Amino acid sequence: MISKVMQRLFRRGAAPGWLAVELDAGAVSLAHVVPNGAQPVVEFAEERAWDPAEPKSLERVAREFGVKRFQCTTLLKPQEYNILLVEAPNVKREELKSAVRWRIKDMLDYHVDDATVDVLDVPVPSGSAQRARQMYTVAARNDTIRATIERFTAAGMPLAVIDIPDTAQRNLAARLEADQRALVALTFDAYGGLITVSFAGELYLSRRLDITAAQLAEAQDEARTRLFDRALVETQRSLDHCERTYPFFAMGRVVVGPFPGDSALREHLSANLYLPVEALDLNQVLRLPAAAAGWTPAQQSKWLKLLGAGLRVEKKAL
């Protein structure tokens, strides 16, 4: 049944904000995020079943939600792209992507000519003592990008942006920054862990951990302590890297989660890091729909990066 919110959107015409769409093996998740000053509004966040082997099933979902009225964004899965920190080529902006290809050609496990490439600037203040300007390069196989576009097009979904989880998490973290200090965000989901460091709304570090939310929730005793220690070591390495590389900003705090059992990891990090460690509360960033009040930590973890994709305000990724 179509909700009253969606009926209102249909009458309104072109919907504001972004419709973030995630396609999994048997489900499609849709979240509509609308700008609203300091606290954007999530008009709805809903999931529907679909069958990848039956394209018409996605088309039915698109019709149910009136998707043609939205501008859509989606996220690549972590295994579908590489994000690489490289020295920025000293070339004109219009020549940047071509020049970056030469920097990354030996870092990929496929030919660089088969890659779609985009760049994320890592800005430093003028006069900074940093020796060389760096940037993140995002590379994905052309076939992956093409297949994603074709799937959305076939379903009648107007796909405007293909983004990545790193920038989606950055979008959330940027709204939690305070006191002109950098924010460290540490999250876990079915694909593993992700550490990001953001400052002034920019992504300065992205680091993946091969630890899933399920592993953290299910591990006991010594096994759990080992996982916690791995997360601690990678967080500390991230802090050390930023302190050495970016002396023009100070670190503020670490936010963690949400995922099942996240409080235990927060306690472990808090006992071993010099920064405050707090819960990543989606309610501090977004005005969530009423149905979200019943979300479990696992559900919050599932929706976190998709909602972050809906916070996109400028084109910085694929």
Q: What is the pLDDT of residues 61-94, one digit of tens each?
A: 999 999 999 999 999 999 999 999 999 888 888 8
The answer to the question of residue 36 being in a domain is no
Kindly state whether residues 185 and 274 are assigned to the same domain: yes
**Has residue 269 been placed in a domain?**
yes
Q: Can you list the alpha helix ranges (DSSP code H) found in 246-314?
A: 262-272, 297-309
Same domain? For 241 and 191 the reply is: yes
Question: In this structure, are 135 and 190 located in the same domain?
Answer: no
| pLDDT at res. 267 | 97
* CATH number for 275: 3.30.420.40
Residue 93 lies in a domain: yes
84: domain CATH number? 3.30.420.380
The answer to whether residue 268 is domain-embedded is: yes
In a domain, 158, yes or no: no
Counted domains in the chain: 2
Residues 263 and 184 in one domain: yes
Q: Are residues 130 and 181 in the same domain?
A: no
Strand residues in the chain grouped as ranges (E)? 18-23, 27-34, 41-49, 72-75, 81-87, 115-121, 134-141, 159-163, 182-189, 192-199, 202-209, 251-256, 277-279
pLDDT reported for residue 127: 67
What is the span of the domain harbouring residue 126?
A: 78-141
The closest alpha carbon to 227, from 169, 166, 186, belongs to 186
Same domain, residue pair 133 and 182: no
In this predicted structure, what is the pLDDT of residue 7? 47
Is 315 part of a structural domain of the chain? no
Under 8 Å between Cβ of 17 and 310: yes
Q: How far is CA 12 from CA 16, 129, 186, 220, 312, in A?
A: 10, 52, 38, 52, 22
Predicted local confidence at residue 11, as pLDDT: 45
User: Residues 191, 124: one domain?
Assistant: no
Q: How far apart are CA 158 and CA 142, in angstroms?
A: 19
* Co-location of 137 and 181 in the same domain: no
CB 182, CB 253: distance < 8 Å: no
The reply to whether 191 and 239 lie within a common domain is yes
Residue 309 lies in a domain: no
Look at the chain and count its residues.
Answer: 318
Q: What pLDDT score was predicted for residue 130?
A: 60
Low-confidence residues of the chain: pLDDT under 70: 1-13, 127-131, 314-318
Q: How many CA atoms lie within 13 A of 142 on its CB side?
A: 6
3-state DSSP call for residue 113? Answer: helix
The SS3 call for residue 302 is helix
Residues 6+ apart with CB under 8 A from 38: none
Does residue 200 share a domain with residue 268?
yes
Residues 181, 133 share a domain: no
CB atoms within 10 A of CB 253: 18
- Do 182 and 274 belong together in one domain? yes
> Is 26 among the domain residues?
no
Burial class, 244, CB count within 10 angstroms (exposed 0-12 / middle 13-18 / buried 19+): exposed
